[in-house]
Structure 1
Amino acid sequence: MPATQPYAAFVFDAYGTLFDVHAAVRRHASDIGPDGPRLSEIWRNKQLEYSWVRSLMGAYQDFWALTEQALDYALAATPSVDKAHRQSLLDAYWKLDCYAEVPQVLKGLKARGAKLAILSNGSKAMLESAVNNAALDEILDDVFSVEDVEIFKTAPPVYDLVATGYRLYPDAISFQSSNRWDIAGARKFGFRTVWINRAGNPDEYLDFTPHAVLPDLTKL
Structure 2
Amino acid sequence: MERYEDFSSITRNSLLHALTENGEHLGDSEITSLMEAYDSLSTFPDVNAALNRIAADPTIHAVVFSNGSKAMVSNSVIGSRDLAPHASVFQDLVTVDEIRRYKPSRASYQHLAEKVGKQPSQMSELWLISGNPFDIVGARSMGMNAIWIDRAGRGWQDAAAPELQPSAIVRSLEHIVNEIKGRHK
Q: TM-score, normalised by structure 1?
A: 0.69
Report 1 or 2 for greater relative contact order, CA contacts < 8 Å, sequence distance ≥ 6: 1
Provide closer, same or farther for how the CA distance between residues 59 and 106 of structure 1 changes in structure 2, counting only shifts above 3 A: same
Given that 1:200 and 1:215 are in contact with CA atoms closer than 8 Å, whether structure 2 keeps it comes out as yes
C-alpha distance in 2 between matches for 1:105 and 1:162: 22
Q: Check if 1:165 corresponds to 2:131.
A: no
- Cα distance per residue 1:139-172 (max 9 Å; x no partner): 1111100001101001111111221122231111
C-alpha distance in 2 between matches for 1:200 and 1:206: 19
C-alpha distance in 1 between matches for 2:153 and 2:25: 31
What is aligned with 1:196? 149
C-alpha distance in 2 between matches for 1:165 and 1:103: 25
Match of 1:147 among 94, 97, 106: 97
What is aligned with 1:214? 170
Secondary structure at the aligned position of 1:94 is classed as: helix
- Once the two structures are TM-superposed, the CA of residue 193 in structure 1 deviates from its matched residue by 0.7
C-alpha distance in 1 between matches for 2:17 and 2:104: 23
**How many residues were matched structurally?**
163
Q: Check if 1:105 corresponds to 2:59.
A: no
Q: Check if 1:122 corresponds to 2:39.
A: no
Percent pairwise identity: 28
Given that 1:175 and 1:193 are in contact with CA atoms closer than 8 Å, whether structure 2 keeps it comes out as yes
C-alpha distance in 1 between matches for 2:132 and 2:163: 16
- Cα distance per residue 1:84-129 (max 9 Å; x no partner): 3423221211211122221321221232221010110000111001
C-alpha distance in 2 between matches for 1:91 and 1:109: 28
RMSD: 1.5
Secondary structure at the aligned position of 1:89 is classed as: helix
Write the letter of the residue equivalent to 2:71. Answer: A
Structure 2, unmatched stretches of 5+, are: 177-185
Given that 1:106 and 1:116 are in contact with CA atoms closer than 8 Å, whether structure 2 keeps it comes out as no
Write the letter of the residue equivalent to 2:171. Answer: P
C-alpha distance in 1 between matches for 2:136 and 2:147: 7
Q: Check if 1:184 corresponds to 2:137.
A: yes
What is aligned with 2:183? none
Write the letter of the residue equivalent to 2:114. Answer: T
Secondary structure at the aligned position of 1:144 is classed as: strand
Secondary structure at the aligned position of 2:147 is classed as: strand
- Once the two structures are TM-superposed, the CA of residue 217 in structure 1 deviates from its matched residue by 0.4
Q: Which moved more, 1:196-205 or 1:108-117?
A: 196-205
What is aligned with 2:40? 95
C-alpha distance in 1 between matches for 2:173 and 2:110: 23
Given that 1:154 and 1:182 are in contact with CA atoms closer than 8 Å, whether structure 2 keeps it comes out as yes
Write the letter of the residue equivalent to 2:172. Answer: D
Write the letter of the residue equivalent to 1:206. Answer: P
C-alpha distance in 1 between matches for 2:25 and 2:143: 45
